[in-house]
């Protein structure tokens, strides 16, 4: 009986110490921290993520509508060479264009084909060309479509989050930029603590969580700093 009372006392004391020693959230200098206060309500501009023009690519499905001319209005799929084919204008290189750019190109082509004042609308029905690969210690690894703008945390959430044994201080993003291959090391714990911004993810990025190769790549840097307070960018030489 005395042992039980002693154990309960130790437990209560431990909980009290734990409560008193709870860490205070500390973010980066420009981050406003509200401690036990309600967060301010966002205004309308805060509720909309700034858009980025979508670049058409192979396998994307489009609708091309020419107002008043049903025979020219078509549902088309961008082929593997990046082209679409339409009546009167033939094959057009659509890959690499935005919908507005493709619209302008089609208007010009229809005018050349003697269509008077063509009113063209291009809509993207299925965005299949812009994807991000999420692999490693995530619940559902795979290839995911990238529509609009997405951050690293959102991308990992798309893969149902990290696994129980994920090494969240070893999250590597591989990216091709200007014909060069880069790798950036991020610490999800630091992002959650507001130490630095949640980085933006782009099409064709590859995200690895807790991968052995990634740990070797940044081994010396991570050993010197258990909590990565800034992203570490590495140019991969071939």
Query: Would you call 168 helix, strand, or coil by DSSP?
Result: coil
Mean pLDDT calculated for residue range 16-21: 43
**7 inside domain:** no
Confidence of residue 7 (pLDDT cuts 50, 70, 90): very low
Residue 212 and residue 167: Cα distance in Å, rounded? 10
pLDDT of residue 210: 84
Residue 160 and residue 156: Cα distance in Å, rounded? 7
Same domain for 146 and 121, yes or no, is: no
Helix, strand, coil shares, percent, the chain, to 5: 25, 25, 45
Same domain for 122 and 186, yes or no, is: no
- Structural domain of residue 218, as residue ranges? 130-236
Does residue 17 have a pLDDT over 50? no
What are 101-154's pLDDT values in tens digits?
999 999 999 999 999 899 999 999 988 888 899 999 999 999 998 877 899 999
pLDDT of residue 220: 65
Mean pLDDT calculated for residue range 178-184: 85
Mean pLDDT calculated for residue range 227-231: 72
CA distances from 224 to 186, 216, 219, 228, 229 (A): 15, 14, 9, 9, 12
Per DSSP, the residues of 35-61 read SSSPPPPP-GGGGSPPP-PPPP-TT-E
What are 82-102's pLDDT values in tens digits?
999 999 999 999 999 999 999
Same domain for 139 and 231, yes or no, is: yes
What are 55-71's pLDDT values in tens digits?
999 999 999 999 999 99
- Closest C-alpha to 172, from 140, 205, 194: 205
Contacts of 154 (CB under 8 A, 6+ apart): 198, 201
Same domain for 137 and 230, yes or no, is: yes
Length of the chain: 238
More confident residue, 223 or 141: 141
pLDDT of residue 16: 43
Same domain for 85 and 163, yes or no, is: no
Q: How many domains does the chain have?
A: 2
| 72 in Cβ contact with 66 (< 8 Å) | yes
Residue 1 and residue 7: Cα distance in Å, rounded? 10
The mean of the pLDDT values for the chain is 80
State the distance between the two ends of the chain, measured CA to CA, in whole angstroms: 70
pLDDT of residue 166: 86
- Closest C-alpha to 116, from 70, 62, 65, 66: 66
- Choosing from 77, 104, 126, the residue where a domain stops is 126
pLDDT of residue 128: 84
Same domain for 166 and 203, yes or no, is: yes
- Number of H helices and E strands in the chain, helices first, is 6, 13
CATH number of the CATH domain containing 162: 3.10.560.10
Residue 51 and residue 129: Cα distance in Å, rounded? 17
pLDDT of residue 94: 94
């Amino acid at each position: 009986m005395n042992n039980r009372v002693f154990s309960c006392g130790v437990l209560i004391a431990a909980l009290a110490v734990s409560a008193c020693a709870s860490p205070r959230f500390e973010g980066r200098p420009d981050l406003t921290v509200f401690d036990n206060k309600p967060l301010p309500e966002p205004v309308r501009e805060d509720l909309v993520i700034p858009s980025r023009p979508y670049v058409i690519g192979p396998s994307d499905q489009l609708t091309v509508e020419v107002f008043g001319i049903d025979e020219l209005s078509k549902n088309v799929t961008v082929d593997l060479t990046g082209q679409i084919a339409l009546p009167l204008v033939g094959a057009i290189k659509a890959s690499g264009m935005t919908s507005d750019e493709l619209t302008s190109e089609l208007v010009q082509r229809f005018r050349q084909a003697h269509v008077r004042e063509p009113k063209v609308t291009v809509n993207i029905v299925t965005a299949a060309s812009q994807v991000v690969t999420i692999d490693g210690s995530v619940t559902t690894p795979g290839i995911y479509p990238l529509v609009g703008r997405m951050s690293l945390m959102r991308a990992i959430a798309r893969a149902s989050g990290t696994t129980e044994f994920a090494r969240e201080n070893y999250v590597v993003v591989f990216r091709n930029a200007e014909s060069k291959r880069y790798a950036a090391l991020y610490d999800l714990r630091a992002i959650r603590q507001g130490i630095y911004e949640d980085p933006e993810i782009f099409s064709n990025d590859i995200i690895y969580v807790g991968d052995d190769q990634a740990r070797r790549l940044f081994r010396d840097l991570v050993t010197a700093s258990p909590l990565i307070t800034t992203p570490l960018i590495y140019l991969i030489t071939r």
